[in-house]
Amino acid sequence: MQTVPNHQVENLQIEDDRTGLSVECLKRAFLDNLFYVQGKFPKIATKNDYYMALAYTVRDRLLQRWINTAVIYTERASRTVSYLSAEFLMGPHLGNNLVNLGIYDQVKQAVSELGLDLEDLLEQEEEPGLGNGGLGRLAACYLDSMATLEIPSLGYGIRYEFGIFDQDIRDGWQVEITDKWLHCGNPWEIARPEWEVYVKLGGHTEAYTDEHGRYRVRWIPYQVVKGVPHDTPILGYKTNTANTLRLWTAEAPESFDFGAFNSGDYLGAVQAKMVSENLSKVLYPNDDSSQGKRLRLAQQIFFVSCSLQDMIRIVFRQNVPLEKFHEKFVVQLNDTHPAIAVAELMRLLIDEHDMGWDQAWSITQKSLAYTNHTLLPEALERWPISLFRSLLPRHLEIIYEINYHFLEEVKAKFPGDSDRLRRMSLIDESGEKYVRMAHLACVGSHSINGVAALHTKLLQQDVLRDFYQMYPEKFNNKTNGVTPRRFMVLSNPRLTNLISSKIGDSWIKHLKDLKKLEAFVDDPEFCHQWRSIKSAIKHDLVAYIQKQNGISVNPDSIFDIQAKRFHEYKRQHLNALHIITLYNRIKANPDIDITPRTFIFGGKAAPGYYMAKLIIKLLNSIADVVNNDPDVRDRLKVVFLKDYSVKFAQRVYPAADLSEQISMAGKEASGTGNMKFALNGALTIGTLDGANVEIRDEVGAENFFIFGLTAPEVYALKARGYRPLDYYHSNRELKAVIDRIASGHFSHGDTQLFKPLLDSLLHRDEYLLFADYQAYIDCQDNVSQVYRDRDRWTRMSILNVARMGKFSSDRSIRDYCQDIWNIQSVPIELGECIQAKE
Ligand code: 73E
């Protein structure tokens, strides 16, 4: 490595092919990697070869940062955040690394001088879809922000061989296809077999007395699985920090292969190997629901145990006494999926490291912190005791003991309140016995947070009310945020450049600086540029839709987009009722003056969630009819874009005029798509749910289309006795909409196809679509009016962006650092190496 006297990348005097950033050097390195890594030369190289060659070229350029970061953290034994999450929805790495290294433009030029198109190569990347939706993507945004804020951190999770399924649409129905993301290799990870660990499962426990005469427990497992870490670097934006995402793969220990243990039984040994490998085989594709499957619990203990053992290894390597584990690490639990950490950390400290109960308990509570992400009852994880005992016999004993001490504490604080004991117990004994994971997480952590102000309030008042009364000091709110690097700089370069040309680029790290845009809302030239950029992006999406779906779309129509997981509480079918309302108006009066709209949907349904899949079928059926009805005269178009993913989201958010955030109030914990749309200049139509409340507060009620019942109104209506049929009978347009679906108009005359959905609405309507219908339609009519005043719309769009500063994940992370983690930044000096370009 040569020295760089002035630390300026652009003035690099001497460089080598693994570090140099000049266009010439990048070209040389790229061809070198094509030859020596991919074993190809340009004449026979595929697009994927080129992508891989470029990925390795970029990886070479971040390795110095990665290694330096690790060295400095190790030397200083820096306090570190461990973010434990069953999901990390990272999205493609290449583009993001180019942005964060600040070398996007040089690389673009280098590849173009080689006759290639950077966008084309970026398209090649198979994204690691190791998450379902918001929760996994939040974890990814937080890694980006921690690296950018120079916070020492490790993301710990599972390296699923198959991530979230790919979605195809056949005859309007969702079809799931396995996601083979590792098929072409993964240039961003490095396996670290030297740090493998072993995880025990099943079997039984035995009590014994140790040499000091103390009561101890030994766990004789039925099975042992090996965890092998695979590390991916996480770059900060224009800093020298490169943190690590450490994902575990499950393997059979060598002894299972050919050892004496299995002598002669070759097939049996291979069978055992396959059972072990199953643990990291596939991501459970359910968002916001828990199925209580044995393999899922095995996945949870697998990655939690691997991660905690890894932290203990690091503690020892850095000569930190184990009694100070909580000073070295703070462990954030991303929902209850890693909540078994409470019992596992206790077990490791007590059984494996000879610590006493009280000290182990104090360390555990001081180390762990719990984030709750959902109020949905079906998502609250509980495990049947029988399952728990058969897979984790030792953990069950520990949980019983924690419960004993905890219930003593409850008794002391609320004497004589046996009902409270029953409600708060870690064990649900109302019928079949269950372990309640949220209760375990609350008791074992020093902090409990919700993900938006309303959500935290509802946790305190309702779902975790008893725990709030017991430990009010543990509760706090951390409103979610999103990274502006991926969701603006990378995905929306045109708007990024316009903004930076007016106010500089400080907003990329300090999103509140977007406020400076307010000075330009009355500048006609700026408004004109703003509008032309939105229009150009919409034209791009029009071309994409034409290619993907063969539907021609009017780029001047309102791009009204709902992109998120399919779930009844998110109410994509309420959106469908609006489309049919407009369609009915046209059918009744073909010359009616309607503001043209394009309704765009994207999102996956859990494979076993019948109603969500039926809603997808309904939308595609409506699309078939509406898009081809000559009476409509192209004023309405309905488009279902298949296979929603991070890559897809980056393409779609920038093109939106209107963002649909229409969940029933009290159900969406936060939402983060709402933030990404608004940051890209879309206006929101939404209920007072999740973070919508705070977005409206920030951007101003006059720049936000709010409608519908509030959470307290929802509870009150349900308490009074909700009767959806009354709304159906008293609302003429609503009745016409439902009747049109029932008539078979969208199903080639089949009156049975959508009957389950209609029955559910007419007789239960759990998510109050009918109660909110009129308010939604009125609000949409207002949207259509406002859109006609282009100047007003543009002004509202600019003000939305200018006032989104609060919703950067950098702000969220700063709040976590201050209120929960008690951690400071550790800047990384590259010394004689390459400094980040500021
Ligand atoms: O409101 C979103 C929230 O924005 C919430 O539904 C989601 O988390 C986002 C980030 O905070 C969420 N996902 C899950 N629970 N909440 C979940 C549950 C089980 C499996 C997978 C995901």
Q: Which atom of ligand 1 is nearest to the CA of 672?
A: 4
Residue of the CA atom closest to atom 21 of ligand 1? 287
Specify the length of the chain in residues. 838
Q: Write the single-letter amino acid at 370.
A: Y
Ligand 1 neighbourhood includes 132 CB (under 6 angstroms): yes
Ligand 1 neighbourhood includes 563 CB (under 6 angstroms): no
Span 6-38, pLDDT tens digits: 444 434 445 788 889 999 999 999 999 999 999
Residue of the CA atom closest to atom 10 of ligand 1? 135
- Token reading at 17: 């092919």
Sign of CA dihedral 628, 629, 630, 634: negative
Q: Percent of the chain beyond pLDDT 90?
A: 93
Domains 80-90+129-446 and 484-818 belong to one CATH topology: yes
CA dist., res. 139 & res. 131, Å (int): 10
Ligand 1 neighbourhood includes 809 CB (under 6 angstroms): no
pLDDT, residue 263, reads: 64
The answer to whether the CB of 62 falls within 8 A of the CB of 242 is: yes
The answer to whether the CB of 156 falls within 8 A of the CB of 307 is: yes
Ligand 1 neighbourhood includes 812 CB (under 6 angstroms): no
pLDDT, residue 683, reads: 99
The residues that bridge with 175 in the sheet, in sequence order, are 168
Which stretches within 572-640 are classed as H helix? 572-588, 610-628
Ligand 1 neighbourhood includes 141 CB (under 6 angstroms): no
Å from CA of 379 to ligand 1 middle: 9
Mean pLDDT, to the nearest integer, of 356-368?
A: 99
Give the residue, out of 142, 284, 374, with the most ligand 1 atoms within 8 A of its beta carbon, to mutate for a pocket test. Answer: 374
Å from CA of 665 to ligand 1 middle: 16
CA dist., res. 697 & res. 703, Å (int): 10
CA angle 640, 641, 645 (to 5 degrees): 135
Å from CA of 469 to ligand 1 middle: 25
Å from CA of 136 to ligand 1 middle: 8
Confidence of residue 1 (pLDDT cuts 50, 70, 90): very low
Span 774-809, pLDDT tens digits: 999 999 999 999 999 999 999 999 999 999 999 999
Give the residue, out of 288, 290, 459, 812, with the most ligand 1 atoms within 8 A of its beta carbon, to mutate for a pocket test. Answer: 288
CA dist., res. 164 & res. 35, Å (int): 33
Span 169-192, pLDDT tens digits: 999 999 999 999 999 999 999 999
Residue 47: how many other CB atoms lie within 10 Å: 12
pLDDT, residue 834, reads: 45
The dihedrals phi and psi of 333, each to the nearest 5 degrees, come to -95, 115
Q: Which atom of ligand 1 is nearest to the CA of 480?
A: 11
- Token reading at 714: 């929802």
Span 377-432, pLDDT tens digits: 888 999 999 999 999 999 999 999 999 999 999 999 999 999 999 999 999 999 99
Ligand 1 neighbourhood includes 135 CB (under 6 angstroms): yes
CA angle 817, 158, 816 (to 5 degrees): 10
The answer to whether the CB of 375 falls within 8 A of the CB of 364 is: no
Ligand 1 neighbourhood includes 374 CB (under 6 angstroms): yes
pLDDT, residue 13, reads: 42
Ligand 1 neighbourhood includes 136 CB (under 6 angstroms): no
Å from CA of 663 to ligand 1 middle: 14
The answer to whether the CB of 463 falls within 8 A of the CB of 441 is: no
The residue among 178, 164, 167 whose CA lies nearest residue 91 is 164
The answer to whether the CB of 160 falls within 8 A of the CB of 168 is: no
Confidence of residue 256 (pLDDT cuts 50, 70, 90): low
Ligand 1 neighbourhood includes 288 CB (under 6 angstroms): yes
Residue of the CA atom closest to atom 18 of ligand 1? 288
Centroid of chain to Cα 31: 36
CA dist., res. 165 & res. 445, Å (int): 33
- Return the CATH class of domain 484-818: alpha beta
Ligand 1 neighbourhood includes 435 CB (under 6 angstroms): no
What pairing do the DSSP bridges indicate for beta strands 475-477 and 447-450? parallel
Residues 6+ apart with CB under 8 A from 326: 363, 366, 367
The residue among 147, 35, 8, 24 whose CA lies nearest residue 509 is 147
Reported as half-sphere exposure (CB side, CA atoms, 13 A), residue 788 has a value of 9
Å from CA of 758 to ligand 1 middle: 27
Q: Which atom of ligand 1 is nearest to the CA of 87?
A: 21
Largest CA distance in the chain: 92
Rg (CA), the chain: 28
Span 491-520, pLDDT tens digits: 999 999 999 999 999 999 999 999 999 999
- Token reading at 437: 């994971």
Q: Which atom of ligand 1 is nearest to the CA of 374?
A: 16
The answer to whether the CB of 753 falls within 8 A of the CB of 620 is: no
- Return the CATH class of domain 80-90+129-446: alpha beta
Residue of the CA atom closest to atom 19 of ligand 1? 288
Residue 82's Cβ-count burial label (10 Å; 0-12, 13-18, 19+) is buried
Supply the DSSP string of 784-809, one letter for each residue: HHHHHSHHHHHHHHHHHHHT-GGGBH
Span 63-103, pLDDT tens digits: 999 999 999 999 999 999 999 999 999 999 999 999 999 99
Span 309-320, pLDDT tens digits: 999 999 999 999
490 vs 105, 123, 483, 505, 585, CA distance in Å? 12, 13, 10, 14, 41
Span 529-586, pLDDT tens digits: 999 999 999 999 999 999 999 999 999 999 999 999 999 999 999 999 999 999 999 9
The residue among 89, 116, 124, 103 whose CA lies nearest residue 60 is 103
CA dist., res. 807 & res. 826, Å (int): 24
pLDDT, residue 264, reads: 73
Residue with tokens 């079928």: 617
What pairing do the DSSP bridges indicate for beta strands 368-371 and 447-450? parallel
What pairing do the DSSP bridges indicate for beta strands 129-130 and 223-235? unpaired
Ligand 1 neighbourhood includes 483 CB (under 6 angstroms): no
Residue of the CA atom closest to atom 4 of ligand 1? 671
Q: Which atom of ligand 1 is nearest to the CA of 668?
A: 1
Ligand 1 neighbourhood includes 669 CB (under 6 angstroms): yes
The answer to whether the CB of 103 falls within 8 A of the CB of 612 is: no
Give me the numbers of helices (H) and strands (E) for the chain, helices first please: 32, 25
Question: b vs e for 722-744, b when ≥16 Cβ sit within 10 Å of the residue's Cβ?
Answer: bebeebbeebeebeebbebbbee
The residue among 401, 315, 312 whose CA lies nearest residue 348 is 312
Confidence of residue 287 (pLDDT cuts 50, 70, 90): confident
Ligand 1 neighbourhood includes 451 CB (under 6 angstroms): yes
The answer to whether the CB of 227 falls within 8 A of the CB of 196 is: yes
What pairing do the DSSP bridges indicate for beta strands 223-235 and 190-191? antiparallel
**Which runs of E-coded beta strand occur in 670-714?**
683-686, 705-706
pLDDT, residue 37, reads: 96
pLDDT, residue 2, reads: 39
List residues with catalytic annotation: 373, 564-565, 570, 672, 676
Question: b vs e for 597-636, b when ≥16 Cβ sit within 10 Å of the residue's Cβ?
Answer: bbbbbbbbbbeebeebbbbbbbbbbbbebbbeeeebeebb
The residue among 145, 161, 191, 158 whose CA lies nearest residue 85 is 158
CA dist., res. 592 & res. 661, Å (int): 28
pLDDT, residue 5, reads: 42
CA angle 178, 181, 184 (to 5 degrees): 125
Please give the ipTM for the structure prediction: 0.99
Å from CA of 390 to ligand 1 middle: 29
Ligand 1 neighbourhood includes 287 CB (under 6 angstroms): yes
CA dist., res. 426 & res. 467, Å (int): 12
Residues 6+ apart with CB under 8 A from 543: none
Give the residue, out of 88, 135, 670, with the most ligand 1 atoms within 8 A of its beta carbon, to mutate for a pocket test. Answer: 135
The residues that bridge with 226 in the sheet, in sequence order, are 198, 251
Q: Which atom of ligand 1 is nearest to the CA of 288?
A: 18
Å from CA of 135 to ligand 1 middle: 4
Task: Give the domain ranges of the chain.
Answer: 1-78+93-126+823-838, 80-90+129-446, 484-818
Ligand 1 neighbourhood includes 167 CB (under 6 angstroms): no
Å from CA of 290 to ligand 1 middle: 12
Span 728-765, pLDDT tens digits: 999 999 999 999 999 999 999 999 999 999 999 999 99
- Token reading at 757: 């959905």
Residue of the CA atom closest to atom 17 of ligand 1? 288
Q: Is the pLDDT of residue 3 over 90?
A: no
Give the residue, out of 287, 293, 661, 692, with the most ligand 1 atoms within 8 A of its beta carbon, to mutate for a pocket test. Answer: 287
